[in-house]
Amino acid sequence: MNKEYKQYKKIFANPAVIAGFLLCVYGLAIPILNFLIHFISRFLNYLQEVIQSFKNLGSIVDIPNPLNEIRFEWFFSFYKELWFLYIVGLILVSFWAIPFAYRMRIAFKDINKNTKGTARFTTMREMRKQYKKVYDGIEEYEGKSGFPVMHAYEFKRVPIRSLKDIVLNIYYVLTWQRVGFVFIDTNETNTTLLASTQSGKTELGSYPQIDIISRAKIKDTMIIPDLKGDLLKNTKLDLEKYGYLVLAFNLIQPEYGIGYNPLELIKQAYIKRDFDRAQNLCNTFSYSLFHNAEAKDPMWQQASMALLNALILAVCDICYKSNTLDSITMYTVNTMLIELGSNPDEHGYTRLDYYFEGLPATNPARQQYATIQFSQGVTRGGILTGTMASLKSYMYTNIAKLTAKNELDIKGLAYGDKPVAFFIVYPDYDSSNFALVSTLLSQIDYVLSEEATLSPSSKLPRRVLKLLEELGNFPAISGLRSNLNVGLSRGMRSILVLQSKAQLATPYGEKEAEAIFSACGNQILLMTDEMADANDFSDKLGEKTIVTMDRHGDPTSMDKSYGEHEDGRNLLLASELRRLKVGEWIVIRTKKRTDLKGRRIEPFPIITSNKKKTVMLHRYEYLMDRYDNPQTFDQLNMGGKHTEVVLENLVIDFSNESEEIPDQIAQYAEEFVTNKSETLKEQGSQISNAPVHENVESSIENVLEDFYREVGEEEIMEQMEKISETHTPYEEKISKDKYKFLCNLIKDKVSETEYEYFLSLKSIEEIRIFFEAKNRATLLVRIKHIIYT
């Protein structure tokens, strides 16, 4: 910290000091005037007596010397007969005193006019007027909780309940004792805390915050992503004493936590046939999995999102129709992708393509899959591969079971009878499931925001606080910025704990990260290794005006001249911010506009100072008796029912009619090819002295033609009659682009008469029969995915 040039001499320019100086001057002038007037009067009397004696006697006889008659009382004796001399004397004194006082004012006044800046830190007196105090200890306090901004001490009269081991029933003795307390910000505002590695952000920020919230009479629900699970282990017992329901979603040892199905909300919306909401929830889920703010080509992420949305909606559709709603899980979605998305045919199409082609055009799943249909070859394969790679963790047994059963009532976080402390425990050594954390947080925001909006007051009955430590480690949380801005009015606050701004820019992008920071009314710097962050905070603190002194003269001479002038500097420089001591932090509080009595204030920044004994305390300094409970996860007794899930029961039948129709033809063709090949081999072996031809096995085209010739068109038509009982205009089944494709395909393959006949066909059934002719089997293989929908 810089050492300012103190303007102690400015006290001499204080109007009160100058007024006092003038009073002293006039106060001294009056006794002096009293003495002088008495002396002059006595001296004039002496001269008069001398002159009179000389006239009468011709000589001076026995006249006392006036110097011998001087009396001390003259200083305090007012000579009323000569009052006008007092006025003259005071006027003469004023001619000296007033100019002297003016020069004194000019010479010593503070030249700091704040022309370079007016920034300063909040004083302790202002803190007491603006923030609520919560004393250290275990007692609950009235009102709602808030974010701790400063720890301080004061002397307080406290009762002594015991005297020589005799417990007293009333307070007989009071004594002064030094007690600690915390200033808390109870405003509806978000907070961001920048704290680099080894800064003590958990010990100094998270634990005190949990303590403050749990001891409030009006308790908030807490949602806490907990790296390694230490917060859960150390605070669970204490939170339960204060009436909290403690829940954990455990990604380290999933069996010791509750289950959470990320598709539960989508399932509920689909059951209610609210397809718009289901698709919005799908987008929220897939966004957290695939969104990458730094992606140079977002097409891949967008395509993967569309594919996942289509798969989820398809699974919902199948399970809804088959009444197997418990199978709507990510494990089932992955299984569908694996079973239907692999082994493309010679045209690059998979069973997945045929499945979605078989869905009605208005089906939400097919509409989502439309993005994939426009891709071809390597692009399509890349989309399927990338999607599968991102979803592979859901196939692991423990994660599959964890996400197969939902035991979390999101609405109950704000509407339950008890406040909830919900810990999301995740490892620091494996980031493969971090997207699941983002999904969970985004769905919590979605549900609670919706519930608040639909309520009469547009607010949640219980406030919800999200303590998002190490937020930059997670994939982007969908809608985080808007939730930070709008969620405050709904009773949803957030504390973002980050190592640096750059950490947040990675998942969200620079502009979005800056917007997220701007949504936080309290911006706190604990420690930073990044010059960019230090410079940013230094600029936000603003500039102050200082007075600097110049010294001029010969270096070896003791005769120097001095001068003063104004200058400007940041309240704290970036280099000073990087040297904050343990427990010191800077709070920029732009959203703090009133004090405890509602009076308007200027929100000057806050600094906790080691010198002034206002530093924030670590857990080990005052909370170890409550928050030190080392134990393993199995000792917490927090197991869930998801461990009983049997994954094999989640697998469903993914086939539909559109797949069965081409498969019937393929099945008959395959049997015929096998039989025909064996017949040809037998015939070849019976001919003596004639070698077997290399191409005994006919090509697929010739075999299919033989198949139609020998089996007969009537038998095939019998297989098709089941789906040809009605006549459906082909426009309802085939888009214009696909119909044009069919026309271009067969124009060069059939005769002009056949082509004109094809153009005259009006129903999809007639088109199917046209391609099922014995001489068009090869064409049927190529276009079966179009006409059998």
Contact 256, 639 (CB under 8 A): yes
SS3 content of the chain, % helix, strand, coil (to 5): 50, 15, 35
pLDDT at 64: 67
Cα 343–chain centre separation = 43
Q: How much is the pLDDT for 676?
A: 46
Give yes or no for a contact between 603 and 593, defined as CB atoms under 8 angstroms apart.
yes
What are the extents of the domains in the chain?
A: 8-108, 262-398, 657-787
* Confidence grade of residue 756 (pLDDT, cut at 50, 70, 90): confident
| Encoded tokens for 550 | 């110049």
Q: Cα–Cα–Cα angle for 564, 568, 569, nearest 5°?
A: 125
Q: Is the pLDDT of residue 669 over 80?
A: no
Angstrom distance (rounded) from CA 96 to CA 706: 134
Q: What is the pLDDT of residue 4?
A: 66
Regarding beta strands 216-218 and 141-144, do their DSSP bridges make them parallel or antiparallel, or are they unpaired? parallel
Q: What is the pLDDT of residues 88-121, one digit of tens each?
A: 888 999 999 999 999 888 888 877 777 788 899 9
Least confident range from 421-425, 504-508, 639-643, 661-665: namely 661-665
Residue 658 token pair: 């559109």
Token representation of residue 709: 């010739």
Measure the CA–CA gap between 173 and 537, rounded to whole angstroms.
Answer: 49
DSSP string, 728-754: -BGGGTS-HHHHHHHHHHHHTTS-HHH
Q: Select the more confidently predicted residue: 349 or 668.
A: 349
What was the pLDDT predicted at 377?
59
Q: What angle do CA 567, 573, 575 make, to 5 degrees?
A: 140
Choice between 158 and 570, residue whose per-residue pLDDT is larger: 570
Residue 604 has pLDDT above 90, yes or no: yes
- Binning pLDDT at 50, 70 and 90, where does residue 776 land? confident
DSSP state letter for 458: S
Cβ contact 543:116 at 8 Å: yes
Distance of CA 745 to the CA centre of its chain: 55
The number of beta carbons lying within 10 Å of the beta carbon of residue 279 is: 20
CB 601 within 8 A of CB 126: yes
Higher pLDDT, 348 or 739: 739
What pLDDT score was predicted for residue 744?
80
pLDDT above 90: residue 58: no
| Residue 705 pLDDT | 47
In this prediction the pTM is 0.73
Q: Tell me which DSSP letter residue 598 carries.
A: S
- Specify whether the CB–CB gap between 382 and 620 falls below 8 A: no
Bridge-based pairing state of the strands 245-250 and 420-426? parallel
Q: Is the pLDDT of residue 245 over 60?
A: yes
More confident residue, 464 or 44: 464
Handedness of CA 235, 241, 244, 245 (dihedral sign): positive
- Using pLDDT thresholds of 50, 70 and 90, give the confidence band for residue 175: low
Which residue would you say has higher pLDDT here, 779 or 605?
605
Query: Would you call 526 exposed, middle or buried from its count of C-beta atoms within 10 A (0-12, 13-18, 19+)?
Result: buried
For 284-299, the pLDDT digits (tens) are: 888 888 877 666 777 7
Residues forming beta bridges with residue 132, ordered by sequence position: 184
* Number of helices and strands in the chain (H, E): 29, 18
Residues 544, 118: contact at Cβ < 8 Å? yes
pLDDT of residue 60: 57
Residue 757 banded pLDDT, cuts 50, 70, 90: confident
| pLDDT at res. 730 | 82
Give the pLDDT score at 716: 42
Summary mean pLDDT of the chain: 83
Helices (H), 374-471: 377-391, 397-402, 412-415, 434-454
Q: How confident is the model at residue 561 (pLDDT cuts 50, 70, 90)?
A: confident
In this prediction, residue 521 carries a pLDDT of 93
Predicted local confidence at residue 775, as pLDDT:
64
| pLDDT value of residue 5 | 62
d(CA 140, CA 152): 19
Provide the pLDDT confidence category of residue 492 given band limits of 50, 70 and 90. very high
The arithmetic mean of pLDDT across residues 377-392, rounded, is: 79
pLDDT band at 709 (very low <50, low <70, confident <90, very high): very low
Taking the CA atoms of residue 568, residue 573, residue 574 and residue 579 in that order, the dihedral angle to the nearest 10 degrees is 170
Task: Tell me how far apart the alpha carbons of residues 525 and 613 are, in angstroms, rounded to a whole number.
Answer: 18
Higher pLDDT, 692 or 507: 507
Q: What is the pLDDT of residues 322-375, one digit of tens each?
A: 889 999 999 999 999 988 888 877 767 788 888 888 888 888 898 888 877 766
585: pLDDT strictly greater than 90: yes
The C-alpha atoms of residue 196 and residue 527 are separated, in whole angstroms, by: 6
The amino acid at 401: K
One-letter identity of residue 391:
L
Token pair for residue 485? Answer: 């801005």
Whether the per-residue pLDDT at 683 is higher than 70: the answer is no
Q: How many CA atoms lie within 13 A of 743 on its CB side?
A: 12
| pLDDT over 50 (residue 723) | no
Res. 566: pLDDT tops 90:
no
* Dihedral (CA of 694, 697, 703, 707) sign: positive
Exposure string over 488-507, b if 16+ CB within 10 A, otherwise e: bebbbbbbbbbbbbebbbbb
CA dihedral 518, 492, 222, 645 (to 10 degrees): -110
Top-confidence residue, 3 or 718: 3
> Beta-carbon neighbour count of residue 441 at 10 Å?
24
Give the pLDDT score at 548: 77
Question: Is the separation of the CB atoms in 444 and 494 below 8 Å?
Answer: no
Q: How far apart are CA 471 and CA 487, in angstroms?
A: 18
Q: Which residue matches tokens 């007196």?
A: 125
* Model pLDDT for residues 177-213, shown as the tens digit of each residue: 789 999 999 999 999 999 998 888 999 999 999 999 9
pLDDT, greater one: 706 or 693:
706
Task: Provide the pLDDT for residue 213.
Answer: 96
For 625, 668, 716, the CA distances from 721, given in Å and listed in that order, are: 81, 16, 9
Q: Are 29 and 89 in contact (CB under 8 A)?
A: yes
| Distance of alpha carbon 277 from alpha carbon 275, whole angstroms | 5
pLDDT at 655: 66
Rounded Cα distance between 436 and 286, Å, is: 10
pLDDT at 600: 95
pLDDT at 788 over 90: no
Tokens (6 digits) for 300? 């891949």
Which range among 150-159, 544-553, 628-637, 749-758 has the greatest average pLDDT?
Answer: 628-637
Average pLDDT score over residue span 68-94: 84
Q: What percent of the chain has pLDDT over 90?
A: 44
